Every structure is written in C-alpha cells, then in structure tokens.
C-alpha cells in the first residue's frame, strides 16, 4: 500500500492541478443540454456536474488523507454550510419519503445526493483555491463560460434556425427556464464587476464591465421580475455600503444611488413613455407587485404543511406530498398546474427542511453578511477591501432577494455554492502564498485503506447516480421518440420501443417512476393518434407491462397520489380502447379510490371516477362524483360539463342545457372540442333525448374546424338515429348529403361501409 501514499505525496502539485481542472469543468454545466435525456435542460447538467465532482473527489480524497494542510479548515462559513447540509440530511431521514428525498427526480435533481456533491464541491474549492491568483482565474473562467452561454441564448431566441432551444418568448437559452437563466447572469454580472475593480483586472476593466453589462441585458430579456428586484436591491446595497465605508467612494456611490432613484421615479411617473419605449419591460415591471394568485395559494399550502411538521419538515423533494394533503381547490380556478415547489425559498425551506434547515440556511447568509460588514467598517478596513466586500455584499443581497420567489435548481445551486466558497476565501482567508506541504501523521497503510474505502463509495455514487440513470434516461427517450404518430408499421414501432423501455427499466434506478409515467403517457398519445393501434396485441401487452411496473411504483411510493392516479387513468384508457378491465387483479377504480385519501381535495381522481361511473351506467355514483367536483370548485367549467353529461343521461333536458351554459360561462365550451361534444350528444341518446341528440349531431355536421373524421362520425350517428326513429326520408336525404361531400373515388367505399353497418336505406 506504500505506493498509493507515495503517489499522493510525490505528485502533490500535479494532483492539486488536476483537481482544479475538474472543478473548472464542473462550472461549464450551464452549457450542457441533452436532447436525448429526460428533461434535457436539467438532468444532463446535474449528472455532468456530479461526474466532474466525483472525479475530482477521488483525487482530492487522497490528497487530503496524505496532506493535512489540504483538509477542510474550520471557520464560521464552513461550519454554517455543513450545518445546513446536516439539516438536509436529517430532513431526508425523517421525511415522508426518504428515498425520494435522497435521490430526487430527473426533473429537479435536487435531493440529498445532489447536496452531497455541492458540499464536496465547496470543500474542494476552499481547499485547492487559496491564493488570490487562483480565485481570480476561476472567476474569470466562470465569466467566459457565461459569455458563451449568453451568446447561445441570444442565438436561440433571435436565430433559432441556427440553434433552436425550444420556446424563447422570454429568454431561457440552455436553462430552459428564464428564471434560472436570470439567476445565473445576475450572479455573473456581480462577479464581473468584482473582476473589473480587482487590481488584477485593471488592464481588462472595460472587458469585465462589458461582460457585466451583457449579463444585465440577458437578465432584462429574461423578463424575470424577481431578478429585477434582486438586482436593484443588490446594486443599492453595494452603493450604500460604499458610500459609508470610505470617502474615496462616497461621491461615486451617491451618484449611483441618485441614478437608480431617477430610474425608479421615471418608471413610476412615466408609465406611458416606458410602455412605448419597451412594452416587454413595462409589462413585466408594472406587474411586479401583482403576485399571481396561484403563487399565493401555493404559499398558503406550504405554510399549512409547515405547521404539521415544523422541526425537520417533510423532506427534500417531498413538497408534492404536502401539496396533495393540503391542496386548495381554488388554485385550479387560476392555473391548471401542479406544484412540487412553493416558489418561495423561505417557505420551500420551511416545508422541506423545517425550522432547522431554514435557520441553517439563513445562518450562512447572516455569517457572510456580518463578515462583509466587518471588512467594510472594521479596524483593518481599507478602501480596496471595503470595495470588494461591498460588491460581494450586493451579490449576496441580490441572490437572496430574487430567490424569495424562486428555489434552487442544479444551475442556481452551483452558483450559490460558488458564492459561499468565494465569500469564505474573500472574507476569512488571509490570502496565503503557496500552500506548504504538511504530511498527515497517521500510518501509511491506514491512509491507503482510507483512500480505497472512500474511492469505492465515490465509484458507487458514480455508477448509481450517473452511469445507470444516464443509460436509463436515454433509453426511455429513445422508446418515447420511436412512437411517432402515423407510423407505417405500428406493431414494429411498438416492438422496438418496448425493447428500449425494457432496457431502461432493467437499470432499476431512481428514475423508475418517471420512466413508467413517461412511457404510459406516450403510449396513450400514440393510440390516440391511431385508434386502431389499441386493438393490436403488442400494444395491449406493452401497456399492461407498463401498468404492471406502475403497480411496483405504487408499492414503492404508497403515499404518492400521482402514481396511483397514473395507474388508474392508464387502466381506464386501456379499458376504454381495448376492453381490458384489470392488470394483475387490480382495476382502475381500486387505484383511483386508493388515491383519494392521499389528496382528498384534488379533483383528478374524482373526475375519472365520475367517467367510470358514466361508462358503467352507475347513476348514483355518477351523481355523487359530479356533485363532489362542483363542491370542490364550481368555477371550473369542466365540472359543469360533467353535470351536463349526467343530466343529459339521467336528468332533465333543461338541467342538461343549463349546466352546459354554466360550463361555457366558466370557460369550458364543449362544442369547441369534438370529443366532448360527442360525449354530451351520446349522453342525450342514452337518456332517450333523441330529438336533442339529433340537433347536436346535425350541428356537428355543419361545424367547421372540428375535423373531417368528427364530421363523418356525426353523419353516421345521425343516419343511425333517423333509422332507429323511423325517419327514413330524413336519413336518405342525409346519406345523399354525405355522399355529395365525399370525392368520387371514395364514394363507393363509403357506400359499402354504410351498407355493412346497416345504415344504407
């Protein structure tokens, strides 16, 4: 084992440099986007960062074991950061779903596993970047990465033919979300201002100021109101601190504050001017104080959940459980969305980590803030240290304020820990010269075995958290993309897709539930595009296989409302299209009924229970679920439509049409959707309201924009109803009308179809 210790002792400088290179690579993550992955703007970034940190950690671990001076140093920032990580660990263990808290999901990648990587990143940054030169180079590299990221974002918005990155109504670039783009460039703008004023940046001051200005332009184009407020608060904080720190900066600081005051006053007093100059900016700024109603409701849900588990919280990534339990139905009056985050960092911390996590997080900012104030106003303060501390303080304020209406994601989590590590160096370090070797005192064999044991853990993390999830994620994407609408050979397409799905699922990763859910929804879309697919054996076997896997997920996540709902809805659709009523003895109704207690005020399960009751002709249950939905939220038009369906089948004509009018007045027009229109007309038929049904089908034949297939279906239903009611003259006239709307080459085929179904008379 001596050769291991000798290697880390003799190659110290080279291995330190290698560790730095890995950390440099880690902050390239904003550029990483992978179309072949689940959630291409989030998951690839996270696994790339994790891989870079793990590679660095294997080398750094050996260095820290062999060289005592490279081990983490104890100071206020390091202690508060590690206390926060400890609070996250406690909330993970004590949370509703510890497994989910630890691993998270591809959409977020924000569990304990991720924070362990951020903690390792922080420790290594503070250990191997000690000289001022090291930090300046690292910050400069971050700035250059931001320039490239920003240019790609602009190209994706203004020249999407060159680099298309999805919808860019508000600039999102490689982040996929304008809010997280704004967070990143807000931080990098302050970093570049720091570089511009640093003695090392004097010759390139114009370059760094230009980079900061470029970042501010990107924040502006993102239209992120929280970032606007955070940026303004950060700049004002820096100017105020500079004004009172040194006479050398007082005049410039007051000029800056006056300039901001003029800008704010112009926005307040000259609204028509701003609306003409920049309608986009004006629309965002003048709605800053109009917090969307859904956000306020979700904040209330979070507060209610915090009251139940105030000490350790619900656990990382477990807000969705709190959301389900304390769901407020009025939320969907304004936005038909589900929230797995409260979109407020304070409430997010309180619900996920409890008061311990919240206090620990706030403690980091408080510790850094107090240290910055000491640098500015302390006995040893000088103009240069005061200026740097004031800029850093502005960065700290800007990040904290903008995050009050947001939460961390991988991209923002990395820049946050860069802030922590940079602040620790800036405010606590004495800026030492070259690190001096200080060998550790433990025996060589113990050091070697410690490194081997640690490396095994890191390699396990690499395999379980990077390699296998990447393979599984790319496999499900290939499976989903293979199911293209209009495929010439559907059975072959399904078979190939199933191979990819089975391979992805065989990896047995923390992505299992997401893989099953994604596949179930993709199969549903595929069968909708071609209804005949649902009758094929391979389709039915494929769906049943996915549903069997969802049953496994139900056992793994017994408190997860959405997985029970997904299974119930999937089986409901399979039953409707293929006639298969159960999988492994479980049916849709059982799954939906098991979901209800998990989220008693969410509407989704009740909706499908209503549709099941309508499908099976259970009048009393259909009435019960219809009334329950309206009781939860009578301002949702679709619930009035369900009432109209019920009344059309079992109630009175007047009640049916009255409910239909209520649905329309609440934003749901059944006659704008062929499927819903048919549902209503079919209910009229089942309710022996034939005259009204005929009127509805007749209106469909004359309606433009509902699709030729829907129009033809309406003709077929009408012809059948005319025959059923003995109105042969009207039926024959309708047949001739239908034939006249068909091109000559298809006319004979249509005639044969009508004769085959007994509709030719």
For 213-234, write each residue's pLDDT tens digit.
999 999 999 999 999 999 999 9
Binned at pLDDT 50, 70 and 90, residue 433 comes out as: very low
3-class state of residue 439 by DSSP: strand
CA dihedral of 11, 13, 19, 24, whole degrees rounded to 10 = -150
195 falls within a domain = yes
Binned at pLDDT 50, 70 and 90, residue 166 comes out as: confident
In the prediction, which pLDDT does 383 show? Answer: 83
156 falls within a domain = yes
Q: Are 633 and 639 in contact (CB under 8 A)?
A: yes
Average pLDDT for 470-481: 94
170 falls within a domain = yes
Binned at pLDDT 50, 70 and 90, residue 442 comes out as: low
Helical residues (DSSP H) of 378-440, grouped into ranges: 383-402, 410-428
Chain centroid to CA 171: 17
CA torsion sign for 104, 108, 112, 113 is: positive
What total number of domains does the chain contain?
1
Beta bridge partners of 657: none
Whether residue 431 has pLDDT greater than 60 = no
Rg (CA), the chain: 31
- Nearest CA-CA partner of 410 in 81, 135, 127, 31: 31
Whether residue 668 has pLDDT greater than 80 = yes
Percent of the chain with pLDDT over 70: 97
Tokens of 334: 């304004």
In the prediction, which pLDDT does 440 show? Answer: 62
In the prediction, which pLDDT does 209 show? Answer: 95
Per-position b or e across 594-618, b if 16+ CB within 10 A of its CB: bbbebbebbbbbbbbbbbbbbeeee
Percent of the chain with pLDDT over 90: 69
In the prediction, which pLDDT does 352 show? Answer: 96
How far apart are the C-alpha atoms of 247 and 9, rounded to whole Å? 50
Average pLDDT for 165-194: 92
Most confident among 208-222, 274-288, 517-531, 721-735 (mean pLDDT): 208-222
CA torsion sign for 309, 314, 320, 324 is: negative
Binned at pLDDT 50, 70 and 90, residue 441 comes out as: low
Whether residue 253 has pLDDT greater than 80 = yes
Binned at pLDDT 50, 70 and 90, residue 251 comes out as: confident
65 falls within a domain = no
Binned at pLDDT 50, 70 and 90, residue 430 comes out as: low
How far apart are the C-alpha atoms of 758 and 761, rounded to whole Å? 8
Q: Are 103 and 111 in contact (CB under 8 A)?
A: yes
Contacts 24+ apart (CB under 8 A), 8-11: 8/62, 8/63, 8/65, 8/66, 8/67, 8/451, 9/66, 9/67, 9/439
Average pLDDT for 49-67: 96
The DSSP call for residue 437 is P
Whether residue 103 has pLDDT greater than 50 = yes
Binned at pLDDT 50, 70 and 90, residue 162 comes out as: confident
Binned at pLDDT 50, 70 and 90, residue 438 comes out as: low
Whether residue 761 has pLDDT greater than 90 = no
**What domain range includes position 176?**
133-223
Q: Are 286 and 271 in contact (CB under 8 A)?
A: yes
Average pLDDT for 719-745: 85
Query: What is the overall mean pLDDT for the chain?
Result: 91
In the prediction, which pLDDT does 732 show? Answer: 86
User: Which residue's structure tokens are 């180079």?
Assistant: 137
Residue of 689 and 378 predicted with greater confidence: 689
Whether residue 149 has pLDDT greater than 80 = yes
What backbone torsions phi and psi does residue 519 show, to the nearest 5 degrees? -70, -40
How far apart are the C-alpha atoms of 708 and 730, rounded to whole Å? 22
Whether residue 339 has pLDDT greater than 80 = yes
Total Cβ atoms within 10 A of residue 274: 18
712 falls within a domain = no
Average pLDDT for 501-521: 96
159 falls within a domain = yes
724 falls within a domain = no
443 falls within a domain = no
Average pLDDT for 82-108: 95
For the stretch 530-558, pLDDT in tens is: 778 888 999 999 999 999 999 999 999 99
Whether residue 578 has pLDDT greater than 90 = no
In this structure, the chain runs to a length of 761
CA torsion sign for 401, 403, 406, 412 is: positive
């Amino acid at each position: 084992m001596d050769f291991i210790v000798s290697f880390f002792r003799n190659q110290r400088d080279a291995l330190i440099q290698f560790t730095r290179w890995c950390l440099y690579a880690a902050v390239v993550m904003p550029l990483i986007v992978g179309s072949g992955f689940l959630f291409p703007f989030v998951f690839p970034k996270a696994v790339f960062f994790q891989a870079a940190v793990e590679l660095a950690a294997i080398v750094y671990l050996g260095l820290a074991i062999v060289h005592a001076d490279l081990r983490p140093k104890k100071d206020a920032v390091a202690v508060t950061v590690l206390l926060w990580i400890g609070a996250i660990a406690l909330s993970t263990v004590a949370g509703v779903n510890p497994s989910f808290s630890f691993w998270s999901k591809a959409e977020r990648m924000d569990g304990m596993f991720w924070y362990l990587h951020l903690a390792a990143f922080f420790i290594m940054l503070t250990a191997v970047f000690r000289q001022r030169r090291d930090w300046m180079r690292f910050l400069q590299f971050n700035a250059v990465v931001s320039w490239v990221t920003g240019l790609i974002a602009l190209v994706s918005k203004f020249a999407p033919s060159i680099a298309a990155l999805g919808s860019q109504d508000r600039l999102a670039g490689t982040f996929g979300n304008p809010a997280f783009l704004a967070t990143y460039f807000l931080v990098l703008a302050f970093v570049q201002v720091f570089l511009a004023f640093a003695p090392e940046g004097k010759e390139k001051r114009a370059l760094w100021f230009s980079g900061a200005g470029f970042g501010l332009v990107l924040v502006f184009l993102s239209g992120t109101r929280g970032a606007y407020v955070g940026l303004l608060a950060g700049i004002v904080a820096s100017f105020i601190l500079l004004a009172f720190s040194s006479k050398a900066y007082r005049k410039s600081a007051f000029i800056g504050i006056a300039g901001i005051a003029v800008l704010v006053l112009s926005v307040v007093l000259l609204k028509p001017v701003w609306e003409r100059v920049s309608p986009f900016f004006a629309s965002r700024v003048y709605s800053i104080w109009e917090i969307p109603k859904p956000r306020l409701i979700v904040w209330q849900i979070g507060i209610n959940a915090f009251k139940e588990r105030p000490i350790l919280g619900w656990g990382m990534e477990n807000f969705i459980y709190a959301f389900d339990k304390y769901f407020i139905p009025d939320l969907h009056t304004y936005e038909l969305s589900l929230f797995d985050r409260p979109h407020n960092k304070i409430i997010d911390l309180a619900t996920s980590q409890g008061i311990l996590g919240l206090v620990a997080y706030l403690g980091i900012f408080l510790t850094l803030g107090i240290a910055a104030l000491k640098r500015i106003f302390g006995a040893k303060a000088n103009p240069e240290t005061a200026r740097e501390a004031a800029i850093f303080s502005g960065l700290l304020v800007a990040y904290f304020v903008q995050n009050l209406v947001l939460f961390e994601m991988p991209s923002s989590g990395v820049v946050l820990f860069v802030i922590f590590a940079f602040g620790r160096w800036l405010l606590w370090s004495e800026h030492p010269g070259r690190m001096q070797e200080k060998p550790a005192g433990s025996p060589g064999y113990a050091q070697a075995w410690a490194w081997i044991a640690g490396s095994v853990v890191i390699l396990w993390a690499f395999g379980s958290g990077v390699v296998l999830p990447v393979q599984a994620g790319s496999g499900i994407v290939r499976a989903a993309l293979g199911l293209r609408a209009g495929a010439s050979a559907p059975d072959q397409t399904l078979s190939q897709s199933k191979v990819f799905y089975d391979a992805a699922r065989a990896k047995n990763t923390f992505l299992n539930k997401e893989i099953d859910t994604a596949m179930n929804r993709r199969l549903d879309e595929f069968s909708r595009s071609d209804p005949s697919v649902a009758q094929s054996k391979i389709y039915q076997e494929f769906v049943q296989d996915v549903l069997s896997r969802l049953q496994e997920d139900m056992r793994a996540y017994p408190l997860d409302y959405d997985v029970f709902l997904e299974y119930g809805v999937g089986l409901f659709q399979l039953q409707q299209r293929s006639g298969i009523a159960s999988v492994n003895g479980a049916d849709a109704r059982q799954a939906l009924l098991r979901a209800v207690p998990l989220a008693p005020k969410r509407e989704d399960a009740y909706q499908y229970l209503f549709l099941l009751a309508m499908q099976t002709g259970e009048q009393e249950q259909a009435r019960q679920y219809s009334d329950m939905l309206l009781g939860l939220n009578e301002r949702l038009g679709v619930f009035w439509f369900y009432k109209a369906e019920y009344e059309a089948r079992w109630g009175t004509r007047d009640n049916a049409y009255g409910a239909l009018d209520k649905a329309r007045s609440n934003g749901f027009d059944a006659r704008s959707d062929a499927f819903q229109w048919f549902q209503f007309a079919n209910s009229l038929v089942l309710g022996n309201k034939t005259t009204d049904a005929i009127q509805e089908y007749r209106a469909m034949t004359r309606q433009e924009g509902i699709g030729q297939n829907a129009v033809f279906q309406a003709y077929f239903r009408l012809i059948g109803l005319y025959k059923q009611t003995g109105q042969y003259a009207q039926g024959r006239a309708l047949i001739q009308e239908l034939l006249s709307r068909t091109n000559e080459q298809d006319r004979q085929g249509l005639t044969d179809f009508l004769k085959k179904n007994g509709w030719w008379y």
